[in-house]
């Protein structure tokens, strides 16, 4: 059973909601910014880890690279390139 997650990170309110389909489960990553605006992170829906959403925020909330949603490895690469 998948559990929705609610947490704060660097001043952002975060939640990961799960959508149940016949043959899989998808995670939606939602962040409420400091200005109160809600945005959906462009992270693969097959990663429901809060750590990946935290990496997305730490990486500057980037858009997808190419045609695919971002994966944890993409976010780690973006952060490492900035260091």
Domains in the chain: boundaries: 5-82
Place of tokens 């910014």: 33
Q: What is the mean pLDDT of residues 56-78?
A: 93
pTM for the predicted model, two decimal places: 0.91
String of DSSP letters for 5-74: EEEEETTEEEEEEEEE-SS-EEEEEEEE-TTS-EEE--B-TT---HHHHHHHHHTT-PPPBTTB-B-HHH
- Arithmetic mean of pLDDT over the chain: 94
Closest CA to 7 of 32, 34, 26, 42: 32
Q: What is the band of 70 on the pLDDT scale with cuts at 50, 70, 90?
A: very high
CB atoms within 10 A of CB 31: 18
Confidence check: pLDDT of 2 > 80: no
Confidence check: pLDDT of 64 > 90: no
């Amino acid at each position: 059973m998948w559990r929705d997650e609610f947490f704060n990170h660097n001043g952002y309110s975060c939640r990961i909601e799960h959508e149940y389909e016949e043959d899989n489960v998808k995670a939606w990553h939602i962040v409420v910014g400091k200005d109160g605006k809600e945005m959906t992170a462009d992270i693969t829906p097959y990663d429901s880890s809060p750590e990946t959403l935290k990496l997305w925020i730490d990486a500057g909330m980037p858009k997808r690279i190419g045609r695919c949603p971002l994966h944890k490895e993409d976010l780690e690469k973006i952060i490492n390139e900035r260091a």
